[in-house]
Structure 1
């Protein structure tokens, strides 16, 4: 089950964290994985892990907010491998702030990556998927799209847009054999979390890590590999009847508070 043999997959923001875990798992399941990240060295680090395990991957630097760059890269992947079977829109950035103290430049930065980036990549992938009436798009959303989180004004706004883009793509392309879903995680233990704690709470990292973990009903943060497992299901043929859905993976954060 859950084989991705002979599939060509593009994963954005796959140089670390959730994206890296998805890339490594998908390669393990037989896919050729195109690892995209803003930084080439980060993308290559993930590819090194993939190849060390005997998988197939290629690392590419990509600014997902640049439509022309995204289109050219996706066209090249499709030309080289003959198709694009799966797109995982994982690239995204966070921001802490409310409606009063979120600056215009903050809004522009999050809009460019979290909204335009998802659209640019989906558009570039759909150009090839619609030609063969087959494909899967998986977007990385967040529980922030469904519930109020303190000091996450701009971030929540962008994830709400991701949720609606997911539903819209699923609706518009269902007759062409293309599925689109999204995953809505709660807090996941990634390098971003460690960096945030080191910057914001120097000397108190362990204490604050425990506090953030216990804020979720299940009592801990998710592991990137747990998100990757759900991504694998949704992108596999076993999920061929699943489209237009948002899957929470949140340790009870939405419904058990």
Structure 2
């Protein structure tokens, strides 16, 4: 399957935090391709400075080129109250939220820190890869839960997906990165207990950032397809509080990435090396 069914999520509203580039953009594009109205959020809607570039407005433009629809909104997701105002605005203008994606990640200090030991990392790294992503996800869940409960009660998705990864349980990149992913995993697990009585499903999805030997790398849109199929699955509640690799969902639902590639489930191993 190289294209997502454009009616898979028709009539549903998806809020994607961290939608200007990479995984967040890929998720937004595929949710839009599946028929959801996508609200793409980043710190600004214009192109960001630096080599990585990207903007939430560009993401929406790409969705519209595919025949979907949505809007770009600027919000500092590190600001708890700003996230609350964002969700209040969505409630007023759209009536609710059916799918919440927490994909906030500040990469400024992260890439230079790959492979660094804890004593070598910058003072800002912990804030960028632990504090801000966790606080943004917590705030979004806290403020959006009533709307997601209404969605679940109405028979729509009522789904929260936190983007995490193997570093929540195995060493990857550096200590701070693992602490950040572990925090998201714990947030997912514990929030599932609170949300169970409301019928809201919360799960974490793990993209694989590196190609396995003899395999092409996963694409951001592959993870987006995983989430679109999860949102449409009648069995999604069974995964609440758990994690799934994008490739596990690919195997369960039989989809490929946009290039027709199917991806194997990666091994869960520590990737710490004494050699650098």
TM-score, structure 2 normalization: 0.76
After the TM superposition, list the runs of 4 or more consecutive aligned residues in structure 1 that deviate by more than 4 angstroms. Answer: 131-134
How many residues align? The count is: 230
| Aligned: 1:43 with 2:62 | no
**Corresponding residue of 2:161:** 138
Within a 5 Å distance, the mapping from 1:23-172 to structure 2 comes to 23-41=28-46, 42-94=55-107, 95=110, 96=113, 97-130=116-149, 134=153, 135-149=158-172, 151-172=173-194
CA distance in 1, matches of 2:181, 2:267: 15
SS at match of 1:5: coil
CA deviation map 1:156-213 (0-9, x unaligned): 110011011111111111111100001112216xxxxxxxxxxxxxxxxxxxxxxxx4
Looking at structure 1, the residues matched to 78 and 214 of structure 2 have their Cα atoms a distance apart, in angstroms, of 35
> Which segments of 5 or more consecutive residues in structure 2 lack a partner in the other structure?
47-54, 248-263, 271-276
C-alpha RMSD over aligned residues:
2.2
Give the match's secondary structure for 1:100.
Answer: helix
Q: Which residue of structure 2 aligns with residue 245 of structure 1?
A: 242
Q: TM-score, normalised by structure 1?
A: 0.81
Q: Are 1:186 and 2:208 matched, yes or no?
A: yes
The aligned runs of 1:3-22 (5 Å cut-off) are 3-22=8-27
Q: Give CA deviations for 1:108-156 in whole Å, capped at 9, x if unaligned.
A: 232332211111111121143245654210000011112112x421111
Give unpaired runs (5+ residues) of structure 1. Answer: 189-212
Query: Aligned match of 2:222 in 226, 238, 249?
Result: 226
Instruction: Report the structure, 1 or 2, having the larger helix content.
Output: 1
